Amino acid sequence: MTQIKTRASLAGLLALVLTTSPAAAQQSQPQRLETITLNAGMHNIRAEVALTPEQRATGLMYRREMAAHEGMLFVFEQPAPQCFWMKNTLLPLSIAFLADDGTVVNIADMQPQALDSHCSAKPVRYALEMNQGWFAKRGIQAGAKLKGPVFNPQR
């Protein structure tokens, strides 16, 4: 597991992934990405980081299972309304849309292989997908704050 210590490290990680081909998406196999640790209160999350448009488009497609403490963090270049769907995604997921400081904006539950859009309630740079119900089981809702090396402290 790779720990990303600073926001500047994200630039290095982006450079690394841009030099690799999106072969996993072409082969209909789950992609495996670099990970970071996020914290939701006392709960640790091992989050794969999807930085490039190709990585974000593939997301958690084709996965048949995911450990309870694992997820995928989608990182966008600029805050914008973000929408997700579940094409080729086999697992039921919950998605938390996150502000720059890690505050949960809103959470949506998503059904496997559905084409319904699930969107952020306001512009965000981050979205975190976990197994469906993960946030609810831990009492995490809009306004809660996640911590991790990618989030800016509130200004």
Number of domains observed in the structure of the chain: 1
Cβ neighbors of 122 (< 8 A, separation 6 or more) are 81, 105
Domain extent, residue 123, equals: 7-137
Distance separating alpha carbons of residues 58 and 51, to the nearest angstrom? 11
> Is 127 among the domain residues?
yes
Which pLDDT score, from 0 to 100, does residue 4 have? Answer: 42
Is residue 45 a part of any domain in this protein?
Answer: yes
Nearest by Cα to 48 from 129, 104, 141: 129
Looking at the chain, the whole-number percentage of residues with pLDDT higher than 70 is 81
Mean pLDDT of 25-44: 88
Confidence of residue 144 (pLDDT cuts 50, 70, 90): very high
CATH at residue 22: 2.60.120.1140
The confidence score (pLDDT) of residue 25 equals 40
pLDDT value at 80 more than 80: yes
- Cα 4 to Cα 10: distance, rounded to the nearest angstrom: 7
Q: What is the pTM of this model?
A: 0.82
DSSP 146: -
